[in-house]
């Protein structure tokens, strides 16, 4: 059986260009789709408690944990984080180094310059 070569979907694709049934025609395309715009809760990283155990990075289904030098957690990629809460759930520190907060409330604080990180 030969693998069918599929055309990648461009970042500016309109609905007419999307594949039927929402099928994903090729691997490695997730970066092109910003899933963060339908998040209802967002993770807030507390650097002061973090021990860089990388559990959040290993479990995040969207590769949305941002690292510095590959070993230090510095925050989240909010273009792709969908607010699933797995990172906060697996974080082992007490208190947790990641809290989940209301997205609307976080955006309001960002707009007012009170946001964390």
Residues that bind ligand SF4 (CB under 6 A): 43, 45, 50-56, 60, 62, 64-65, 73, 76, 81-87, 90-91, 93, 97-98
Beta bridge partners of 75: 66
Min separation Cβ 102 and ligand SF4, Å: 13
Contact between residue 84 and residue 48 where contact means Cβ atoms under 8 Å apart: no
Nearer to ligand SF4, 9 or 85 (CB): 85
Min separation Cβ 29 and ligand SF4, Å: 17
Nearer to ligand SF4, 19 or 30 (CB): 30
Nearer to ligand SF4, 64 or 106 (CB): 64
Buried b (16+ CB within 10 A) or exposed e, 9-22: beeeeeeeeeeeee
Torsion of CA 98, 101, 104, 106, to 10 degrees: -50
Min separation Cβ 56 and ligand SF4, Å: 3
Q: How many CB atoms lie within 10 A of CB 29?
A: 13
Nearer to ligand SF4, 87 or 106 (CB): 87
């Amino acid at each position: 059986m030969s693998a069918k070569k599929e055309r990648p979907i461009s970042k500016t694709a309109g609905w007419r260009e999307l594949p039927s049934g929402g099928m994903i025609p090729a691997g490695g395309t997730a970066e092109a789709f910003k899933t963060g715009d339908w998040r209802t809760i967002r993770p807030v990283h507390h650097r002061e408690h973090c021990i860089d155990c990388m559990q959040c990075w290993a479990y995040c289904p969207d590769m949305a944990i941002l690292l510095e030098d590959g070993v230090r957690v510095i925050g989240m990629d909010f273009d792709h984080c969908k607010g699933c809460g797995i990172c906060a759930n697996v974080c082992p520190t007490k208190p947790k180094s990641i809290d989940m907060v209301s997205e609307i409330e976080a955006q309001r604080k960002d707009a007012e310059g009170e946001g964390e990180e």
